[in-house]
């Protein structure tokens, strides 16, 4: 049962007494959810369990709860469950994200504000992997410019907390072709439109180069792998991608990403603060 209001002299039923006992013990009737959920007034004094393999949210709005009301939340699923401020304010000294088997209690300080208190030990969960996303591609891209150009290698993640970091692991396959002079590849990793790691053009810190010969041309197939620990500072959907560029244009050279349908991949790991 949810929180109830009683009148003077009222005789309580067994179910009402059970509900009072549960509420006093920060429990209350258990309600199971398998997808994102917005709290309602009847949730006061109850325990909510989330069980989803995907990331979910529990949204908190104003004018539903009174000061002193509590809602206990436990995440049983593999997907991260994030307590999200809707029209209400939700403060915490830890994180609003619950990994699998973590729990916490929303305690309302007014009709429009609450404090989220994680269970013992949860606040010390820095360094935990909260979610993993993988992107793969074997779609080819031809590049014959010194300007960085998108390949089809990309992956998107929605961090559960703005304090989380994202560990990016990537492996990009490509073929380098050149005429009689030196050619090579520049490579960079981007978050959205922002370059966060790169190997520049004009031969400086190239991802790959090979020298020209007196006659004839040549080609070389290779894979560049790398990693980067990013701090996107957001809970919005965030896309990472790889770009390639030719080091020179005077050598009649070019690049071809994912040549002959070769596979490239990118893995994104959200790391809790």
pLDDT in tens, 148-190: 999 999 999 998 888 889 999 999 999 887 665 667 788 999 9
Which whole number is the average pLDDT over 117-132? 69
- Report the mean per-residue pLDDT for the chain: 83
For domain 14-124, give the fold.
Jelly Rolls (2.60.120)
User: Burial of 236 by CB count in 10 Å (0-12 exposed, 13-18 middle, 19+ buried)?
Assistant: exposed
Output the pLDDT for position 8. Answer: 82
- pLDDT number for residue 204: 46
44 neighbors 106 (Cβ within 8 angstroms): no
CATH number for region 130-271: 2.60.120.760
Report which of residues 118 and 248 the model is more confident about.
118
CB 127 within 8 A of CB 272: yes
pLDDT confidence band for 121 (50 / 70 / 90) = very low
Higher-confidence residue: 164 or 123?
Answer: 164
**Which of the pair, 235 or 238, is modelled with greater confidence?**
238
- The mean per-residue pLDDT over the stretch 126-155 comes to 90
- Mean pLDDT of the 100-112 span: 92
Q: What is the dihedral of CA 55, 60, 64, 66, to 10 degrees?
A: 120
At 36-68, the pLDDT tens digits run: 999 999 898 889 999 998 999 999 999 999 998
Give how far the C-alpha of residue 91 lies from the chain's centroid of Cα atoms, to the nearest Å: 21
Q: What's the pLDDT score for residue 203?
A: 43
Q: For 221-232, what is each residue's pLDDT tens digit?
A: 888 899 999 999
Residue pair 272/100 in contact by the 8 Å Cβ criterion? no
Apex CA 226: angle with CA 176 and CA 155, to 5°? 95
141 pLDDT more than 80: yes
Predicted confidence (pLDDT) at residue 255 exceeds the cutoff of 90: no
Residue 77 or residue 26, greater confidence: 77
Quote the pLDDT of residue 210.
63
What percent of the chain clears pLDDT 70, i.e. is strictly above it? Answer: 79
114 has pLDDT over 60: yes
CATH 2.60.120.760 placement within the chain = 130-271
Check whether 264 has a pLDDT greater than 90.
yes
Which tokens belong to 229?
A: 């620990």
d(CA 201, CA 247): 5
Write down how long the chain is: 273
Q: In terms of Cα–Cα distance, which of 84, 162, 77 is closest to 116? A: 84
215: exposed, middle or buried (Cβ count in 10 Å: 0-12, 13-18, 19+): exposed
Distances, alpha carbon 220 to alpha carbons 48, 143, 161, in Å: 57, 15, 42
Pick the range with the lowest mean pLDDT from 70-74, 147-151, 172-176, 207-211.
Answer: 207-211
Burial of 180 (0-12, 13-18, 19+ CB in 10 A): middle
């Amino acid at each position: 049962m949810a929180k109830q209001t009683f009148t003077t002299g009222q005789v309580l039923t067994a179910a009402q007494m059970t509900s009072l006992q549960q509420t006093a013990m920060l429990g209350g009737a258990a309600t199971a959810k398998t997808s994102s959920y917005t709290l309602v007034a009847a949730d006061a004094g109850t325990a909510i369990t989330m069980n989803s393999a995907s990331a979910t949210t529990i949204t908190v709005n104003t004018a539903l709860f009174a000061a002193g009301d509590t809602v206990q939340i436990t995440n049983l699923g593999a997907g991260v469950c994030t307590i999200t401020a809707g029209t209400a304010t939700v403060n915490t000294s830890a994180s609003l994200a619950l990994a699998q088997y973590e729990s916490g209690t929303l305690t309302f300080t007014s009709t429009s504000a609450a404090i989220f208190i994680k269970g013992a030990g949860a606040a010390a969960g820095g360094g935990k992997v909260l979610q993993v996303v993988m992107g793969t591609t074997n779609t080819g891209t031809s590049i014959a410019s010194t300007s960085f150009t998108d390949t089809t290698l990309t992956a998107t993640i929605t961090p559960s907390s703005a304090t989380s970091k994202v560990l990016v692991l990537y492996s990009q396959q490509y073929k380098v072709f050149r005429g009689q002079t030196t050619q090579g590849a520049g490579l960079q990793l981007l978050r959205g439109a922002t370059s966060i790691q790169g190997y520049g053009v004009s031969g400086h810190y190239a991802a790959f180069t090979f020298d020209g010969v007196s006659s004839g041309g040549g080609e070389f197939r290779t894979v560049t792998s790398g990693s980067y620990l990013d701090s996107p500072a957001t809970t919005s959907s965030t896309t990472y991608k790889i770009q390639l560029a030719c080091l020179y244009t005077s050598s009649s050279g070019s690049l071809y990403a994912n040549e002959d349908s070769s596979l490239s991949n990118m893995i994104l790991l959200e790391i809790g603060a």
